Amino acid sequence: MTSRRDLFRLAGVAGSALAGATVARSALAALPEPVIETSAETRPPLMPSAGRPYKPVVTLNGWTLPFRMRDGVKEFHLVAEPVVRELAPGFKANLWGYNGQSPGPTIEVVEGDKVRIFVTNRLPEITSVHWHGQRLPNGMDGVTGLNQPGIPSGKTYVYEFTARRPGTFMYHPHADEMVQMAMGMMGFWVTHPRNPHPLIDEVDRDFCFLLNSFDIDPGSFTPKIMTMLDFNIWAWNSRVYPAIDPLVVGYRDKVRIRVGNLTMTNHPIHLHGHEFLITGTDGGPTPKSTRFYEVTTDIAVGQMRQIEFLADEEGDWAFHCHKSHHTMNAMGHDVPTMIGVDQRDVAAKINRLIPDYMAMGEAGMEEMAEMEMPLPDNTIPMMTGYGPFGAVGMGGMFSAVKVRRGQKAHDYSDPGWFQHPAGTVAFEYDGTPPAAQRQPMKSTGSKTEQLVNVKRKPHSGGHHL
Amino acid sequence: MTRGCRHRMSGFRYRLAAGVVLLGLVGCQTVSVEEELTSLNRRMGPLPAALQASESASLAQDAQPRVAELLAAPLTQTGAVELVLIHSPAWQAMLSSGLASINEAQQAGRLSNPVFAYERMRSVDERELARMLSVGVLDILLWPQRRAQATALSEAARWQLADNAIKEITSVRNAWVSAVAAEQRLGYARDVLLSAEASAELARRMQAAGNFNRLAQIRQQLFESQARAELAAAEQERLARRESLIRHLGLDERQAAELRLPDTLPGLPAERITPERIAERVLTDRVDVALAEARFQAAARGEGLTRVTSLIDLEYTRRRDTVTQASGDVERISGGEWEIVLPIFDLGELRRGAASRRAIAAANDLQATLRAASSHLRESYAQYRNSLAVAELYLREVIPLRKQASEETLLRYNAMLIGVFELLADAREQRNLVMQSISAQEQFWLAEAGLQAAMLGQPVQGSVWRAGAATVSSEPGH
Ligand SMILES: [Cu+2]
């Protein structure tokens, strides 16, 4: 049920050549054919087919949405729909996304471009798209009820505005957003500068991804949408380690990584082996005077950080959220600490009841990373992944920046593990370690200690039931 | 035990002699024990062993090899019934007192013996010798009626014996079911304790390592205490059920020690008792109906007799005196004497009233039994069907699901989603559910024995249905 006004709009889109009797048909024909992505692989950068040239970005485990030019307007077609996203091999999720995947495709335009985005709603409820961070007419801002009616199921709405400001943006629904974002609806937007910009450097590699989180009960497929804080899947572009692709760069490449946070908590994103500058936020490029070197940047909820560095150290450099629980996959937060608890004889007893039981955790949990035990269906181990030196024992928001000599400019394929020059890997000391000199701590009888003692109840005597 | 049937005539040539012979023949109508047992067997339906009344030591001796054979292997339910039939003194006591009751009932069909009196008197001049033979004339006149009543009474005694026998066999079957179930549950109660012990031990070590506080450790220890108490209860239950079975079987101490039971209750029967089979049962085949019927017959005949006996009694005495005078003369006097009770003070209406009311009561009892019979059957059948449905639900659905839940729980443990304490709690819950399942199987076998008895006409009083066993509780995992 297309309204009269919609028809006029679509007719306008299709051009004035369309005449009366064929309006409805031509209006449909005027919609750009939606492009659907079926894989969770990182697609190579999409070189612009028309319009002003720019250097495209690489979306980590994602892709850029092709556009078509019509009468000087860049047209995109986003389809909001249920999708099945592979979060990692053997671990799929029933999500909502755009054009076959969650997150949706990255939209790349150039500063000053006239942009028209068709949004078709194939969800069972209304949706809308908010263009996070953009300067645009208020009626294009996408807040359901406030700026526009919700897009009903089965309908296509059109957003039109000019990309006024270069920078890094996001898009996500502003209709039932708690549910729709918990289900994975979000996407990336990059507006490239029209002309060389004093605060926006040209780079050799330009990566982007969104931080997102889900609460998927191990063994199930659909996120629990009511979860507010206790998420168990910490993802980059709806992907978890070890299934997040490495960020492959050439030696001495200038690298930009744009990271947006659409989770419910902050993430201190940390890069090994290099210092980076924050060259931009969702507010635009940062003034040079504010830039200083860091190795970790905390990205708050709803924020965007754009970091830049010179990849001048070869190797496989870890790149991850510094909250160590965020570099794990699903785990039980109530699992008791078993460190220092001898379980062997008790385990034998338990085995009489549960033959497949294995004692774990006596010496920490690294053994988990190496154990391959049957897990619930559709579940990725809490600690997993292998490197050239054995188990990595990670999950969630973890990947690596692989810096290689001779990596060709447009080659993003995984070069394999770093070949370390001789004598540059930590090695085992083969002499006898000297006896540890340890000084036992003496009670100082300090005032604080006395205070604490006074407050403590005597442990012995007077047991009451 | 055929009773000797020779009545000495003693050479008296009384005209009543013919009557005495007749009476002797009447006495010979006593049915033999073998015939009584065959009749009982017929009334009770097929039994795993022939009924035998062991009134001699040799019979008990003969059964010993079979008893030993039955006790050598885990005792089946059929084996338990057979053991009762050939071995249990309580059963033999029940059988003998039943046969005694039949004899006593038959006794009512006998005529009272004639009374012979001999009198010798001596005075100064004469010696008198008097011989009197008295016979209850009314007794003889009413003999056919009395015999009919005795037949009805002994029939009632036979049905009463059958009723007792079915009751006993049903309770031995039940005792066997409960003993096996209690034995089976005990194993799982031991598992529960094993799991709780492991939890408590780990918790103690956790506290020693500083990983648990006192409260967390105490919680686990309490599980262990609880499991220990539950195991003690299960052990007592097993012992009590086993001893009850041992008493039913009448085992001596050595045999009791030998007694072994199967590890599990039998699987649910493939062939089900259908409502059609229930409907086939003729009401009059039922023990309770037959017993009420026989009692009614006896009461009705009793009433008829009382109508006469409450009013009159008639006795005839034939007398023959020989008087020898001192002179040596012998005078012979003979004659008869009639004795009649005069209904002057007691017209017998109370006795007649009582007899008539007994007959009415018996008639109503019969009516009530007839009407209750189908209701009992319906209830027993419903219990059978429902307990079967619940037992099947446990076997086909609940236990496999619970097993899957435990498998999933282990997977969750493997995936570090839950800890070992939850895993052990799950193991306990699983065992508890298995115990519930065993109770459901037990319930079914009790209902099955109840239905078998009800079909024979020995309705189980009250319900064997225990609400607890029909409840599927405990949520798997956490
Ligand atoms: Cu994080």
Domain ranges of chain B: 269-311+362-478
A418 Cβ neighbours under 8 A, 6+ residues apart: A314, A315, A316, A388, A402, A404
Nearest chain A alpha carbon to B196: A350
Could you tell me where the beta strands, DSSP code E, fall in A89-122?
A: 91-98, 107-110, 114-121
Q: Do A346 and B202 touch (CB under 8 A)?
A: yes
> Measured between beta carbons, which residues in chain A are less than 8 angstroms from residue B420?
336, 338, 343, 350, 357, 359-360
pLDDT tens digits for range A138-161 = 999 999 999 999 999 999 999 999
For B301-324, what is the mean pLDDT?
87
Q: Is residue A127 part of a domain?
A: yes
Q: Round to whole Å and give the CA distance between B137 and B309.
A: 12
Tell me how far CA of residue A116 lies from CA of A13, A107, A255, A385, in angstroms: 9, 11, 30, 42
Distance CA B295, CA B305 (A): 15
User: Is any Cβ of chain A less than 8 angstroms from the Cβ of B195?
Assistant: yes
B420 touches chain A (CB under 8 A): yes
Q: Is B424 on the interface with A (CB under 8 A)?
A: yes
Categorize the per-residue pLDDT at B313 as very low, low, confident or very high, splitting at 50, 70 and 90.
Answer: confident
Name the pairing type of β-strands A91-98 and A73-88.
antiparallel
Closest partner residue to A339 among B209, B408, B417, by Cβ? B209
- Sort out which chain A residues have CB atoms less than 8 A from B210's CB and list them: 340
Determine what percent of chain B falls in helix, strand and coil, rounding each to the nearest 5.
Answer: 65, 10, 25
**Reported confidence tier of residue A344, pLDDT bands at 50, 70, 90:** confident
* B220 shares contact with chain A (CB less than 8 Å): no
pLDDT beyond 70 at A445 = no
Tell me what the mean pLDDT of segment B241-255 comes to.
Answer: 94
Is the Cα torsion angle A229, A233, A235, A237 positive or negative in sign? negative
Domain containing residue A74: CATH number: 2.60.40.420
A300 alpha carbon to ligand 1 midpoint, in Å? 10
Is the predicted pLDDT of residue B320 greater than 60, yes or no?
A: yes
CB contact under 8 A, A336 and B206: yes
Mean pLDDT (whole number) for A267-284: 96
Q: Would you put residue B318 in left (φ > 0), alpha (ψ -120 to 50) or beta?
A: beta
Nearest-CA distance A459 → chain B (Å): 12
The percent of chain A in helix, strand and coil, each rounded to the nearest 5, is 15, 35, 55
**Most confident listed range (A5-9, A236-240, A377-381, B99-103):** A236-240
Q: Find the closest chain A residue to B206 by CA distance.
A: A341
Which chain A residues have any C-beta within 8 angstroms of a chain B C-beta? Answer: 218-219, 330-332, 334-343, 346, 349-350, 352-354, 356-360, 365, 368, 371, 373-376, 379, 381-383
Nearest CA in chain A to B416: A331
**Beta-bridge mates of residue B136:** B315
Q: Per the CB < 8 Å rule, is A331 touching B202?
A: no
Report how far residue A175's alpha carbon sits from residue A145's, in angstroms, rounded to the nearest whole number: 8
Looking at the complex, report in whole angstroms how far the Cα of residue A361 sits from the nearest Cα belonging to chain B: 10
Average of pLDDT values for A94-116?
97
| Amino acid present at A159 | Y
Q: How far is C-alpha A258 from the chain's CA centre?
A: 10
Rounded to 10°, the helix B420-456/B349-393 angle is: 140
Nearest residue on chain A to B430, alpha-carbon basis: A353
Q: For chain A, what is the domain count?
A: 1
Contacts of residues B125-131 at CB distance under 8 Å and 24 or more positions apart, as own/partner, are B125/B325, B125/B326, B125/B327, B126/B323, B126/B324, B126/B325, B126/B326, B127/B323, B127/B324, B128/B321, B128/B322, B128/B323, B128/B324, B129/B321, B129/B322, B129/B323, B129/B324, B130/B319, B130/B320, B130/B321, B130/B322, B131/B319, B131/B320, B131/B321
* B415 contacts A335? CB cut-off 8 A: no
Q: Is the peptide bond before A137 cis (omega within 30 degrees of 0)?
A: no
Out of B211, B411, B417, closest to residue A338 by CB: B211
Contacting residues of B for A376, CB less than 8 Å apart:
408, 411-412, 415, 417
Please tell me the predicted confidence (pLDDT) of residue B12.
36
Nearest Cα of chain A lies from the Cα of B419 at a distance, in angstroms, of 5
User: B402 vs chain A: nearest CA distance in angstroms?
Assistant: 14
Contacts of B296 (CB under 8 A, 6+ apart): B359, B362, B363, B365, B366
Is the Cβ of B81 closer than 8 Å to some Cβ of chain A? no
- pLDDT(B341) > 80: yes
pLDDT at A20 over 50: no
User: What is the structure's pLDDT at A450?
Assistant: 56
Q: Which of B478, B477, B453 is nearest to B464 (CA)?
A: B453
- Whether A332 sits inside 8 A of B412 (CB atoms) is yes
Q: Would A181 be classed as within a structural domain?
A: no
Cβ contact, residue pair B416, A331, below 8 Å: yes
ipTM of the complex: 0.80
Residue A71 Cα to ligand 1 middle (Å)? 44
Find the CB nearest A341 among B195, B202, B411. Answer: B202
* Shortest Cα–Cα distance, A90 to chain B (Å): 14
Residue in B closest to A355 by C-alpha: B410
Residue A151 lies in a domain: yes
pTM value is: 0.79
Say yes or no to pLDDT of A298 above 90.
yes
Q: Which two tokens stand for residue B474?
A: 């405990």
Distances (CA, A) of B8 to A16, B11, B12: 141, 8, 10
Is a pLDDT exceeding 80 seen at residue A372?
no
At the topology level, CATH places domain B269-311+362-478 in Outer membrane efflux proteins (OEP) (1.20.1600)
Asked if residue B378 has pLDDT above 60, the reply is yes
The region, left, alpha or beta by phi > 0 then psi within -120 to 50, assigned to residue A106 is beta
Q: pLDDT tens digit string along A22-81?
A: 334 434 457 888 999 999 999 999 999 899 999 999 999 999 999 999 999 999 999 999
Residue-wise pLDDT tens digits, B24-68: 444 444 567 778 888 887 777 766 666 766 666 666 677 888 999
Q: In 3D, which of A133, A125, A106 has the Cα closest to residue A117?
A: A106
CB contact (8 A) between residue B198 and residue A349: yes
Q: pLDDT exceeding 90 applies to what percent of chain A? A: 73
Concatenate the DSSP letters of all residues of A372-407 into one string: -----TT---SSEEEETTEEEEE-BSEEEEEEETT-
CB contact under 8 A, A336 and B212: yes
Ligand 1 midpoint to CA A224 (Å): 19
With a cut of 90, say whether residue B278 has pLDDT above it: no
DSSP 8-class letter at A14: H
d(CA A368, CA A360): 8
User: Which of B215, B403, B417, B433 has the highest number of chain A CBs within 10 A, making it the mutation to test binding with A?
Assistant: B417
Determine the Cα–Cα distance for residues A117 and A74; give it in Å rounded to an integer.
Answer: 8
CB A11 within 8 A of CB A27: yes
Rounded to the nearest angstrom, the distance between the alpha carbon of A397 and the centre of ligand 1 is 7
Range of the domain at A35: 4-165
Residue A421 lies in a domain: no
Average pLDDT over chain B, rounded to an integer: 84
Minimal C-alpha gap between B470 and chain A (Å): 26
Option in A331, A365, A383 nearest B417 (CB): A331
CA of residue A207 to ligand 1 center, whole Å: 19
- Quick one: tokens of B83? 């053991």
Write the DSSP assignment of A250-315 as a string of letters.
ETTEEEEEEEEE-SSS-EEEEESS--BEEEEETTEEPPGGG---BSEEEE-TT-EEEEEEEE-S-E
Q: What is the DSSP letter of A148?
A: B
Among the partner-chain residues B205, B414, B420, the one whose CB lies closest to the CB of A375 is B414
Query: Residue A15: which pLDDT band, with cuts at 50, 70 and 90?
Result: very low
CB pairs under 8 A between A and B: 103
Lowest mean pLDDT among A225-229, A338-342, B10-14: B10-14
Higher per-residue confidence, A379 vs B284: A379
Mean pLDDT of all residues in chain A? 88
Q: Is the pLDDT of residue B169 over 60?
A: yes
State the Cα–Cα distance between residues B430 and A136, nearest whole angstrom.
61
Nearest CA of chain B to the CA of A379: how many Å?
A: 8
Confidence of residue A455 (pLDDT cuts 50, 70, 90): low
Closest in A332, A336, A349 to B211, CB measured: A336
How many angstroms is it from A299 CA to the middle of ligand 1? 9
- CB contact B213 to A (< 8 Å): no
The CA-atom distances, in angstroms, between B373 and each of A70, A100, B369 are: 92, 71, 6
Best of A233, A346, A356 to mutate (most B CBs within 10 Å, chain B): A346
Residue A1 — pLDDT band, cuts 50, 70, 90? very low
Q: What does residue B282 show for φ and ψ, rounded to 5 degrees?
A: -80, 135
DSSP result, B81-120: HHHHHHH-HHHHHHHHHHHHHHHHHHHTTSPPPPEEEEEE
Cα separation, A440 vs A430, whole angstroms: 28
Q: Assign A450 to helix, strand or coil.
A: helix
Structure tokens at A399: 């990947």
Task: Compute the CA torsion angle A19, A21, A24, A29 (nearest 10 deg).
Answer: -50
| B212/A contact by beta carbon, under 8 A | yes
